[in-house]
Structure 1
Amino acid sequence: MLTGPMDGDSNVPVDTSISWNPVDGITSYLISIGTTPGGGEILNRAGVGIDTTYRPPFGLPENTIIYITITLFLFDAADVICSVGSFRTEDVTIPPPCTALEFPMDGAIDVDIGTQLSWNYAPRSTGYRLILGTSPGGNDILDETIMTFISFDPPGDLPFNTEIFVRILPFNENGPAPGPCPNYSFTTGSVSEIPDCTTLTNPVDGTINVPLASTLEWEEIPGAEGYRVSIGTSPTSNDILDNGIFSGNTAELLDFLPRRTFFVTIVPFNDGGDAVGCVQESFSTILGCDPFIDSATGELISFSPQIDFPDVISLCLNDGSASIISNDQADGYRWYRLNADDTETLISQTPEVSFSEEGNYRYEISNLVSQPGTVFECSSSKEFTVISSEIPNISNVDVTEQANGLRIIVQTEGIGDYEFSLASNGPFQDSNIFENLSQGSYTVFVRDKNGCGLAERSSSNGLSPDDFPKFFTPNGDGVNDFWQYDPLIDIGEVDLQTIYIFNRLGALLTRIDPKSQGWDGNLDGIPLPSSDYWFKAKSNDNREVKGHFSLKR
């Protein structure tokens, strides 16, 4: 839709510029301006390339509804015609200003005698009076010809080696430009014959699979002083080269995009002017790296290699560095460290790379592709992160006897991401807690998920609920009257620190020395009833074991 003037606007200046919303993927826009919907009476399908703003070169009629149509040019599909809106122009009530000669420039010399004159658009003008003479203010060449355009091609050649004086007088229905408008002049040169057109010789018109780095060549034309070359990606645009001037018949080392058709116009020129009627030619480049559909098989073809690489790599602190070898199949490999200042440092050009520090990196692989006339590189890349990890350190294995069996909690130290198991070959779990286990000793295994190692440790290490009696009978018969860990059980080199005894509600009843006789079942000299009681034993190296026992009377 229109973005300026807006659809439905009124009192719009007649010299306004017209703008519209851009559309992705468009090769070129064509604009039509009319006084009826979809009409082109004022301007019909003028190519504007990919610009989304256009200023009519002759202005717009006053006090008129103007309709704008934008045609979307798609190289490989039908044109899309869009009626984007309309607006009404202003009612002009004042004369236009003076204008200036644009070509030839004021004071120019050696101007071709067959040259065409042009001048700038004077806002609000509806016509121009043009006067030409061989003296200031003279009209011996042309006497007040009225023009509605901003250019004039004299019906005959101008006199050669002569100073030509020009006056341009804009006007509209409100009168002529307030004067006096200035005089301009230029001097003609000697007569020259206009050169003929030329044609492409490399690549010739219609060639396909042209290399991306190519030298354009065309037929050399006798009498031509130079060549104006325009190249575009559509028939209506010169987005690659716009009227570039070359003295010879070559344009060297132009880098073209792959899988595109390019449109070329070459116009020889000399003092006599530009060659007339030169036609547009075209050629298509090689496929390049972009994926494409094979017309014979219908398959999607891509020359770039496929990357199968993780987002995160672990640097094991216990190893000092991390080395990996890519399994991706490619012709070339590059590894880069991404620096804080947005630069990259190349660290390897082989499938193998070593990392000695954390950070962000980029991995790139490439294939060399041969197509007619050239060999080029098609690459794929991805960014990834190197993080630090390490083998786990098992600081404690806490074993507790519960109603449904043993409960083991594994305490670890380290910066890794760890998982836990009761067997070396798994299964492993994320939780460090194991519950409802049968009585016995266990070995716990902890491994780093990033591959930095596996640690193991016995759940007992000489300290287990089985080292403590399951019941005692404090009835004064001299048999089993005290509860204490069983001195007849070999508990290795464990040095117990304290044993705590709790009731079933978790209230601390007493604390006993592991080297004492033990607990007699009393609290402050009062015998406690028969029931289950709980204990927690703690070693000097802070290992703990928990369990329960029965008091029977």
Structure 2
Amino acid sequence: MKNILSLLFVLSVISVSAQITLTHNVGNIPIDTGMPNCEDEEHWARAFTLSDFGITTSEQFIIRSGQVAISNSYNGAIMAFDIFGIDSNFPNSTPNYIGGAVTYAPQIGNVPEIVPIEFLNPIVVPTDVEKILVVVTQSDDIYNPDYKEVLIAGTAQDNDVSWFSGCREYYTYTPTTELNNPVPNANFFINVTGETFSPSNYGSNTTLTHNVCDNVIRTSQHSCSFGEQSWARVFNLEDFGISDNEEFIINSGQIGVSSTRGGATVTFNIYEIDDNFPSSFSENSLIGSSQEVQIPYVDSYYNITRIFTIDFNFPIAVSASIKRILVVVNVGIVWGDGVMFIGGTEQDNDVSWYKGCSTANGGFLPSFVTTESIGYGDARFFINVTGNVNHITNNFEMNISNICSEFLKEFSVENKDNIASVIWDFGDSASGADNTSADLSPFHDFSSDGTYTVTATVTGNDSSVEVLTETINVKEPPNVYGINNIEACEDSPNSGFTSSFNTSTIQSQVLGSQTGRVVTYIDGSGNEYETLPNPFTNTIKDRETITVRVARSDELCCYSETSFDLIVNPLPDLTTIEDIQECDDDTDGFTTFNLTQIQSDLSGNNNLVNFYFEDGGQISNSQLNAVINKIENEETITVRVTNNVTHCYNETNFKLIVNPLPIANALDELIGCDDNNDGISEYFDTTNVENIVLGNQNGMVVTYYNSAGNPINLTNPFTNSTPNHETITVRVTNKQTNCYAETQLVLNTSTKPQINTPIDKYSCNEGNGVGSFNLGSLKNEIIGNQNNLNVYYFDVNGTDITNTITSNFKNTIAWNQTIFVKVENASSNLCMSETSFNLIVNELPEVNIESEYFLCNLEPSLEVAVGSGFNSYEWIFEDGTLISNNYNATLTYAGNYSLKISEIKNGITCENNYGFKLVRSVLPKIENVEFQELSDSNFIKINASGDGDFQYSIDGNIYQNSNTFNNVLGGIYTVYVRDRLGCGIDSKEITIIDYPKYFTPNNDGNNDFWHIRGVSNYPNAIVNIYDRYGKLLKQINSNSSGWDGTFSGKYMPNSDYWFTVFLNEEKSFTGHFALKR
């Protein structure tokens, strides 16, 4: 019986290959390689090119385990493994997430150990992925701060780069050799292990699939919570080469998932169905089921789809009598809401089936319907199963391999140890003698596409003969013809980009005469195009590789690839060309320019250089050393530089600028003072030379040259080097253009004045350090009888005070002022002499004398003395009488006196006068005493007569300047007044009548008796005390100690009491007080 096979599969002899470990480490002994840790999340990574490990782009790589070596781990440290797809632009491109899982490390000390991980859900690296990135993340653990101490380990030797990101410092993956603190031998110990799998193999191992390739994408198929979903595919076994005398043992399945929120599970159920499906479907037709497997969280935000491989714990046997099966993936739930979305492919060759929760039909579909019938025509569920095909009667089976790269196929027969011989007939008569073979495992190169019946006549060691027959459909992969690299000139200098790549012939070049082909272009940034834009703009600077994939239109997974480069040729660099400037020596706006240096600078690297006038006329090479501008003062020249190899050219402009000469204004001759008649002067005033020579010009530089043409510094003042007469060249240069003009400066010398220095002048202080000075003869003192000289006077601030120098000059600076004298030759103010002298003000003689003296009338006279160090004294009374001419005098009469003293200093006599008074004091006398009594504000005021300075007292001990005493208590007082200088005292006795407002007769010695204060001076005084009802309680006289608060021997209560006082016949008063106990 014939089995019709579609040869789109890989290495049919093994569908699950031997284990492959991806590693860059040499050896398995981890060591500390010096990689530090930090207090934030860290990502350690290794990149693997799958082809380096024998994994082709037509194979899936199913990762089942991994390893990482660490140290300083606490028990339960979280290690996350994540797998990403990367391209050749990594790390400058974004990795695509494929899958991952976590493991928990044990406690590890300072010696590194290997931590393994087993992926409960194997990670499927799809076909067409060339490189992957394996990332191990030391995640934050808020429950254990020791996570910060975990260190990644490595091996002593290694063969690739270790990558790092994290620590809030490196936000993209960076080689450890390029860290701020490089770790050149980090050699991260990270590896993963798995096996390859071909999603399109056949023979003894076969995959049932309707998907074209395994590029799983998001579809529009809905989902719902809490399970209740079944996704299914129908497979006719004969379509996959499984005949009715072969059984199919299913051992794994795959499903594509675009997203899930967690808690969802899947179970593969295999049913037998007939041609009347779905109407004839019955749950009783279940052949077998896989175990229930939980699908991990897949985030929909990143638009990432994943393929999950489910290895069945117990293979499901589809018996030889079954021709058609239904593969159903049931969605379950273990926690959460169980929402999961199935992924699909862009193409498939059959319909997808669904039952379960729905957005229509009342919210549930109880029977299988096609996804197209419910509005999800793009679902194309990614569901497949893989298993072994076993012939139930033959002792031998034929195996065929095809890698979709050529017509050459390999054939073999299983159970080789029991085979005596094999005769192969490939059914390809066009191949001639190569159509047959007696090899056990022959290769045959089919002559063309087509369906071929391959027969193997097998003779066993027991002489039995079996004829094995397979019908195969051979499809040769597309041819892809080479494409030459395309070159184009960049759009702008140093950009590395151009928008002028001509791609119009690429498709015809790569296809030739082939038809039925689909061409896909992939640029260097990973963007895919069905047709390259024309013209095309490169996305990678300078050079970009474009990958061209040619696939069969009837089988997109069968393709061939080639590539070509887009090469951006740089434009000649003209950024360094500057304008050329020359000076207009003949001031007509035209001059000669030399362009040969520009030509030389630009002619390197195979460049052709051409120059053009502003009117477009080309400048011949013979003219380049002497080009005269055509436009007055300034002309724009265009230069074009063409690369003779790439023919890329660039143009720019520069200017020929004719700069005008600056102006050097004429200068008057300068005269310098010759102070010793040697013809040399150090006093040439050059202050205004530069201002005069420049005028109103700006941006100029002035330089000076002697008669020999050597540069000199024109200092101020300047000293001539040639006696009597010298000529200096003054050059004015425009510092922007370096153009200059010149003029002459003539220096002549003149004789210096001879002067005398005046002696210092003195004056007596007329107040505040100012005196009068006679300066009328000062000029004659300085220059004598010399002529043709000008004399000027200046103060310390340089202010000219010449006009104020008179015979009555007053100094403007107190006490000591310096006057500066300048004598100039009238023919040159630089020819001058200078001197100075001082104006000094003598202080007047001073003595200590009082303005007023007091003499008590009891004393006959007063002697007054002052300092004895002066030259003369005159003491004079107010009537003109001279009292004394010595330093002391005896004063007798009251009145005004004066004292005149004199002192000779610095050759002049200065006098000072003092006036004072002698006062004879009169004895103090109390005229009367005013006082207030029987009130809350009693006072005493003493009124005295006399001309002295008095003090007052009411107790004879404490005196005050005021004659009023406030708040005095009742009683008898002797008041006093005295002269402060001791000139007499007077006194008088007074009585202040008052009484206490309350008393407290408690026998405690305080306020036990109540009496009128000051009453003792009234011997006839009678005091009567009454209660509030007018009852007489007590009568006391002036000598009594007072009332003790009793009546008839009994204590009187707390209350107010009234009294009457009769001091004498003329004076009495009443009042009341309080008794308090």
TM-score where L is the length of structure 2: 0.28
- 1 or 2 for the larger relative contact order (CA 8 Å, sep ≥6)? 1
Q: Please state which structure has a larger fraction of its residues in helix.
A: 2
